[in-house]
A and B are shown apart, each in its own frame.
Chain A
Amino acid sequence: MTLSFTVSPTDSQFSPRIGTVTHGSIQIQTPGIITTTSRGVIPHLSLDNVLRTPSIQWIHVPFESFLEHSPPVPTLLPPLRDFLRFSPSKHLLSMSLRDISSAREMPPNTNGYVTANTVRGVRRVSPKDYKSYAELCKPDIVFALGDNAYPSTNASGPNAKLAAGMSQKRGIKSVERTLAWLGTLLNDQSSTTFVSLVGGASLPARSAFANGLVETLYGPEAEQVSPLKTLDEGVSGYVLELVPMALEAKATPAPDSFISLIQSSLGPLPMNKPRLVFGGSSSNLTGNTSTNAHLGPVTPQTALLLTLHCGIDLFDSRYAEEAASVGVALGFRFPAPAPTEGKEELVLPLGWNLYDIKYRMDFSSVGSSPSGSGWGWRGVVGTFEDDPKVDGDVVCLCPTCSPLPPNPEEVILHSVVDSPPSQNSNPERSHRHRPPYTRAYIHHLLHTHEMSAHALLKMHNLHVWERFWDGVRGVLSDGEGNSANVERFKKKVERFIKVYSDKDVMNEAREMWAEVEVLRGKGRLAREKEREVKEVQKKAGKDGDSEVEVGASLEEQVREKLETSLEV
């Protein structure tokens, strides 16, 4: 099966564009999303829940964790898809050696090998080894090895301090190596190959690499990849890794620097191949997260800017996934909801940190907006009869907001007298869907450290992330011609960035997650209570209201206060 990519014609090389990636029966609309894996699984989602989540189509697998055994176990039961049990009719599988999001310091690569990380230590992988793994594993797409040298790893000894950035020499080496390794991979190879566009934060190095791809080859290099005339002929797509750019460009504020670096890579290259952006992860964030935020996951705002200015086709989903890991339910939409007539411009959160005590009694869908404001997401079925109607919120069909009862044929019957559940045991319920899982329930699950909190949030967040891109595609395909569409898209991007506050809900949630971790153990409830009381008193003080009763109705009062302050 081959991969094909069709893309709408654009006026400029870097214009935003819409397209379709097709692989057999799988069709992925672009701009769209890629789901990443850890140790071969999509974190928090068991396989049955992966299959319940239609927004999961393109799955990317870093191979390095399998190097713990030699030979790597998936090579014993190839292809990789069968080992990981993803669906051939639903899931497109790509594979790289390293975890692209990682900024972990690694021993330097050499011409002969790349260093990879496993829980049992560092492994050296030669381009030949990698090629054999890829041939056995048969992913739909293999990412060629990239020599992404990080400043801290290539400089050692007395000169380390001098090499604050990547030296020009090192930059050239990285470009040459990656081109050579690509040649090895393309030698007599049938699988679909993507290449990471290297060159770090150096504009010349990046365009040198891209030029190297399209250059006509001669001599042994040409023989190696014959009948290809250039390396690029053997390449079906381009990978843009933000972490190496961010690591070198520490002083430069993202995402503007990303835009020029990506443009310099894409400049010499043909326009008809998919362009993928992979960002970092929050595990790269240490200390002051405001200074190294560009090592974190790609935010919706950055992704929009890269789409607008670089014509990116696919982004990883780490932002949505990590939000789920720290207890944040996403709630943004594209285009950003319009303000009610005569009202002020909206300022909206990207999501809600469900650790917050104010959700203790909130029985609405995890992504819904406050009553009547209509800028969020809600389940098909209203939560409870007495709940205020959430007018205007868009319906979210994820398994968290709009759970479907299990298909009766799929319910396991354990004996001959077992009968499948009747679908409508409750005659009052005319809906096929069940009421949503509520914020109050997820809040409870987070505070009791129940794993299902993250499964439920992840299914929702991936859905919101995919629907966000659906909104992007909608604006780009309105059909008034490319330049008009781009102009309209640009305005909507500007508005999105204005409306969605950059208050870091993720950071706040990460801190609260860590606090729950600290509070665990004996006497935890007492410690939590003490803290909650303190918080209430603090907030009460701020409001100039010192007569907060700390008693049974305490949470009620907090909630009221917060609700009124939330109203837009």
Chain B
Amino acid sequence: MQYEILARCHTTQARVSRMTLAHGETMLPTFMPVATQAAIKGLTPEQVESLGVTLILNNTYHLNLRPGIEVLNKTGGAHQFQGWNRNLLTDSGGFQLVSLSKFTTITEEGALFESPFTGESTMLTPEESIRIQHAIGADIIMQLDDVVPSLLKGPRVEEAMERSVRWLDRCIEQHERSGKQNIQNLFAIVQGGLDHDLRDRCLDAMIERKDRVAGYAIGGLSGGEEKDVFWRIIKQCAAKLPEDRPRYSMGVGFVEDLLVCFALGVDMADCVFPTRTARFGVALTFSGPLNLKLSKHAKDLDPIDKTCPCPTCKNEISRAFLHHTVTHETTAAHALTSHNVTFQAQVVGQARNAILAGEFPSYLKKFFATYFGEHGYPEWVVNALRSVNVDLLEGNDTVYVVRGDGARWEYSHT
């Protein structure tokens, strides 16, 4: 991997960088759409590529079950299998073991789980996770970490953090033995729950191994913790992680979370939210989400966003027509998925432009004024950005601040 920082924000911790991998360049900060089963829901790889997406995510747990490593080996990896010519990232499979599988037991050796095929006990070791990810062949692969629920407290969190460090070593060994470290890049995952001391210890241990890892992820978040805690952990990790490695915040997809993370120094994020919400009929826009199932859109002849470059908006498909087809025809899901993936890429692309131009703080102010406007600014967003010297409320007497997560949503009663 070549990693080059092109510009730094003079106020916040945000930066623009170029990450060059085996399948081309990806400009950071970026948002990665999720292709769990080797497909962005409903779109062909050509469509995804034409949206300007240069890095997507596949899930190791799912691809290992179907199509299976035998198929992937035979076709030469997941790129060839799904016809995707740009960069690809795979997770380690650990998260799904915990979230999807019954009776997963973590031992020092690995994660013992019940195979969904046979019901037999199967062990996923760090070495095996790396072997599977080698067969998949993604440009970025993740270490197997010991995942505990974000809200968990007590000694198990410390144990998981320490084990994640030990497992990182085993992943590094396995990765280096394979001789694939020039093609595939291993990222470490910082754990330690919501405890700043544990996070600090984890950061120290993982940064010690910097020469043998290509980048760092911040794991164990986006699991229902309070936003006010979330951003403080992100800030702590991003601030301490080495300058010359990309930083990846796992499972972050709401635009407000993305922009806060970038301001705190994060470079990459992924989430199923934009594509999943599309299938439920929601279009994301700069002035908040639009729930196209609502009858108030039935006669609205405007496109979702006249300025959006996505094929749905560029072809001027009206909100009314989307309302007519949404949840009845799969093409509505395709159209909204195209739009939402483009929207996320536009928000982060414009953030890159603003950072390059030295105008990131004013971009943040402008974005949030449009996005939250009269709905009020979430307090945690205001606080998080204040911590990096951007005051969203400065010179703006009309907005108010709301407590809680403050996620914008279009419900049927609005």
Contacts and interface: CB of A to CB of B under 8 A. Distances in A.
Interface of A: 38-49, 65-66, 68-69, 73, 76-77, 83-85, 119, 360-361, 363, 384, 399, 403-407, 410-419, 421-422, 425, 434-435, 437-438, 440-441, 443-445, 447-448, 450-452, 454-456, 523-526, 529, 552, 555
A119 B328 contact: yes
Contacts of A48: 47, 50, 311, 315, 338
Given A40-B325, A405-B49, 8 more contacts: A46-B47, A425-B23, A425-B85, A434-B83, A440-B81, A443-B67, A444-B37, A525-B117
A418 B328 CA distance: 36
B325 A39 contact: yes
19 contacts: A46-B331, A69-B298, A84-B321, A360-B71, A384-B75, A405-B85, A410-B50, A414-B345, A417-B6, A421-B85, A422-B24, A425-B24, A425-B85, A448-B37, A450-B38, A451-B42, A452-B39, A452-B41, A552-B70
B166 interface: no
B79 to A, nearest CB: 11
A555 B49 CA distance: 33
A64 to B, nearest CB: 12
A11 to B, nearest CB: 45
Contact of A526 (B39, B119, B311): B119
A363 B75 contact: yes
A65 B65 CA distance: 41
B315 A47 contact: yes
**Considering the complex of A and B, which 5 residue pairs feature the smallest CB-CB distances, nearest first?**
A414-B349, A406-B50, A412-B52, A46-B334, A415-B352
A441 B338 contact: no
A73 B325 CA distance: 12
A85 B315 contact: yes
A407 B47 CA distance: 11
Contacts of B391: none
A443 B39 CA distance: 13
B362 interface: no
A456 B116 contact: no
B82 interface: yes
Most buried by B among A406, A417, A529: A417
Interface in B349-378: 349-350, 352-353, 356
Contact of B324 (A65, A363, A419, A451): A65
Interface in B308-358: 309-312, 315-318, 320-321, 324-325, 328-335, 338, 342, 345-346, 348-350, 352-353, 356
A460 to B, nearest CB: 12
Nearest to A46: B334
Contacts of A399: 44, 46
Contacts of B316: 85
Contacts of A422: 24
Nearest to A385: B76
A85 B353 contact: no
Nearest to B334: A46
Contacts of A43: 329-331
B66 interface: yes
Contacts of B107: none
Contact of B44 (A41, A47, A455, A555): A455
A399 to B, nearest CB: 7
Contact of B317 (A85, A411, A450): A85
Which of A45, A65, A406, A552 gathers most chain B CB within 10 Å? A406
Contact of B46 (A84, A406, A440): A406
Interface string B23-48: 11101000000000111111111110
B407 interface: no
B82 A441 contact: yes
A434 B70 CA distance: 23
B49 A411 contact: yes
A429 B141 CA distance: 26
Contact of A416 (B40, B50, B62, B356): B356
Contact of B47 (A49, A84, A525): A49
Contact of B81 (A414, A441, A526): A441
A402 to B, nearest CB: 11
Nearest to B347: A414
Contacts of B345: 412, 414
B41 A450 contact: yes
A414 B328 contact: no
B408 interface: no
Contacts of A68: 324
Contacts of A69: 298-299
- Most B CB contacts (10 A, CB to CB) among A38, A39, A412, A414 go to A414
Contacts of B317: 47, 85
Contact of B325 (A41, A448, A525): A41
Nearest to A447: B66
B118 interface: yes
A506 to B, nearest CB: 19
Interface in B247-278: none
